[in-house]
Structure 1
Amino acid sequence: MNKQYTSADVAEVDGGKLPNRNAQVTRDRILQTAVREFAEKGYSGVRVEAIARIADINIRMIYHYFVSKEQLYIEVLEYVLSELRDDEFKLNLDVHNIDPVLGILKLYDFTEAHFARNKDLQSLLQSENLNKAIYLKQSKRIQEMSFPILDILGQLIKRGEENHTIRPNINPLHLYTTLVSLSVFHKSNAYTLSYMFDTDLLAPEWQQAHKTQAHEMIKAYLQTK
């Protein structure tokens, strides 16, 4: 059972005073440590005491900010997914002027690179899928932060239909899941597939060849005959 601390318990930490200049730094350190721990060990394998020890933080501070292990895990999911969404918007895709097919390819390139850099995100999503999204569903933020990417794709698809560079009736969600699949599947299953087919799927040259082929597949799927 996850231990719960009362406000009186928390008040004992630093006399109950949490300087504003340190509060965000402390919270971020807890989250970053928790991301690594949950990604490596899964929800059931993580102990809050271990997070406190690794982060070099009094355990009561964790309960002050996050109340429980479950809430900490939910905020870990929000943290890694908000990084993905924030970085998507940093692409600054000009959906009103960019060539629609090129815009979609840029989004694929970003998604592929983001997951390559953020293996903890891959692990956390795999774990949460095994748990049937039981914790992710408790988040009040994740759906809200996810829908805008479908709006971006929808605008690119619409412009492509209007200028006859993209075929009609492409669903933004189907397209997005295809982009993610082409970005992630070969990475998250690289060890098993590499052994099964006696080919190193993690080799840079194989990864680049896959990316080139993914571009060709996306363009072939999108473009009018």
Structure 2
Amino acid sequence: MPSKKPSSSAKALGADPPAAPTTRRQQLASKTRERMLKIAIREFADKGYSGARVETIASRSKVNIRMIYHYFGGKEKLYVEVLEHVLARLREAELAVTLDVHTVDPAAGIIQLYDFTEAHFSAHRELLCLLSWENLNRARYLKLSKVIQAMSSPVLDKLRRLIRRGEMGGTLRRGIDPLHLYVTLVSLAYFHKSNAYTLSRMFDTDMLAASWQAAHKQQAHELVRGFLRKGTMRQGLAVA
């Protein structure tokens, strides 16, 4: 029986993973499973759950289709594991962000967290695609996961502490909700990338060009700083 490789989801949640494969057979089985998962991520990201075919994943993985069912239990379970994998990878990256919330300037720290999110989405476009497909499905398959909801974002806790310190120190305006701010940061990092092809066509502008993305990132910085600034009214009217 092939040994199941410790999942990224388990590591992201801090669970004790199974022992690493030791025998050559176990190592080969682990590599085969990893290869199938990698191909599945690409297939589901490109075509969504309905459009993806298990036969295609097996063919591109150079395995018999029965191996998909042997390792993952079927298309639906494979798709759920794909979602768990990409979201666990995001959480692991968030945990690796080096940011001293006790000493960094709160506004600068929040901008740094935005930059991390923006960079992660740029480097992992499959995540953008999978989230878009799953939103179309109204999170139907996310709801089947037993671990995704438990993957609380470390960024949210960092934001909460930065906001509290900024309010106490008088450098940030009061009344900023951490979850609303997190969603705003993700929105600013996500929309212009996930919708770049349609927006580029509509406005005859290459929004995936490095120069356009850099300019948009700078504008996002200015928007976030303006929102955080002490003296900005909740209604969105800036006062001195």
Name 1:150's counterpart in structure 2: 156
Name 1:44's counterpart in structure 2: 50
Name 2:99's counterpart in structure 1: 93
Question: d(CA) in 1 for partners of 2:168 and 2:219?
Answer: 27
Name 1:133's counterpart in structure 2: 139
Shift of 1:148: 3.1
Select 2:129's aligned residue among 123, 129, 133. 123
Q: Residues 203-218 of structure 1: matches in 2 within 5 Å?
A: 203-218=209-224
Q: Deviations over 1:50-99 (max 9, x none)?
A: 11110112322221221111010000001111111111111122222222
Unaligned runs of 5+ in 2: 2-22, 232-240
Question: d(CA) in 2 for partners of 1:202 and 1:174?
Answer: 27
Q: Deviations over 1:13-65 (max 9, x none)?
A: xxxx9932223222211111000000111101112121111011232222122
Shift of 1:224: 0.6
Question: In percent, how many aligned pairs have the same letter?
Answer: 60
Shift of 1:149: 2.6
Question: d(CA) in 1 for partners of 2:31 and 2:96?
Answer: 23
Shift of 1:136: 0.5
Name 1:202's counterpart in structure 2: 208
TM-score (norm 1): 0.88
Number of aligned positions between the proteins: 210
Question: d(CA) in 2 for partners of 1:61 and 1:98?
Answer: 50
1:159 paired with 2:174, answer no
How much is the aligned-residue C-alpha RMSD, in angstroms?
Answer: 1.7
Question: d(CA) in 2 for partners of 1:26 and 1:96?
Answer: 44
Q: Deviations over 1:156-202 (max 9, x none)?
A: 11111111111111111111111111111111111221222222212
Question: d(CA) in 2 for partners of 1:144 and 1:92?
Answer: 22
Question: d(CA) in 1 for partners of 2:81 and 2:24?
Answer: 20
Code of the aligned partner of 2:131: L
Q: More helix per residue: 1 or 2?
A: 1
Code of the aligned partner of 1:59: I
Unaligned runs of 5+ in 1: 1-6, 8-16
Deviates more, 1:52-61 or 1:179-188: 52-61
Code of the aligned partner of 2:185: L
Question: d(CA) in 1 for partners of 2:88 and 2:224?
Answer: 26
TM-score (norm 2): 0.83
Structure 1's 173 and 197: CA in aligned 2 closer, same or farther, altered over 3 A?
same
Select 2:89's aligned residue among 80, 83, 94. 83
Question: d(CA) in 2 for partners of 1:204 and 1:110?
Answer: 17
Code of the aligned partner of 1:32: K
